[in-house]
């Protein structure tokens, strides 16, 4: 079974404030990221999955947390493969067995230049 990530759509409360649920789940996301040191560059930065950076700009954890609060996750990024999560398998399991699937993540994704056009000053 895939993890329930419907909380991503409930980022804000009716009052406009970021929901406690969203903040708690962002903390869980950052814990996951820290389980995979390959995600970090030499300065300890990781790709920011917010709607503005779109996994193309490296930021420190504090900045990523704030970006996610203000911008939410990039649309459609529910299986966090860029951040170390295994690609979701079939209906029977939430994660693929590492022995059954070839790892298709690109550790050099930050060098691709795919989003240079979206970097703002």
In a domain, 75, yes or no: yes
In a domain, 1, yes or no: no
Q: Residue 87 gets which letter from DSSP?
A: P
Cβ–Cβ < 8 Å for 10, 72: no
In a domain, 112, yes or no: yes
CA–CA gap between residue 102 and residue 104 (Å, rounded)? 6
At 116 the pLDDT is 38
pLDDT tens digits, 54-75: 999 999 999 999 999 999 999 9
Cβ–Cβ < 8 Å for 79, 55: no
Q: Domain count of the chain?
A: 1
At 90 the pLDDT is 56
In a domain, 22, yes or no: yes
- Span 27-37, mean pLDDT? 90
CA–CA gap between residue 49 and residue 94 (Å, rounded)? 20
Domain extent at residue 72: 6-100+107-118
pLDDT tens digits, 85-120: 888 875 433 333 444 444 444 444 444 444 433 333
In a domain, 43, yes or no: yes
Q: What pTM was estimated for this model as a whole?
A: 0.71
At 68 the pLDDT is 97
């Amino acid at each position: 079974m895939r993890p329930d990530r419907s909380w991503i759509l409930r980022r804000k409360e009716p009052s406009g404030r970021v929901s406690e649920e969203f903040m708690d789940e962002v903390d869980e996301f950052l814990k996951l990221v820290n389980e995979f040191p390959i995600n970090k560059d030499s300065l300890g930065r990781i790709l920011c999955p917010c709607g503005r950076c779109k996994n193309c700009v490296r930021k420190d954890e504090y900045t990523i947390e704030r970006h996610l609060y203000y911008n939410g996750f990039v649309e459609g990024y529910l299986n966090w493969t860029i951040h170390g999560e295994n690609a979701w398998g079939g209906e029977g399991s939430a994660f693929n067995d590492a022995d059954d699937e070839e790892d298709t993540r690109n550790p050099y994704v930050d060098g691709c230049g795919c989003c240079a056009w979206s970097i703002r000053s």
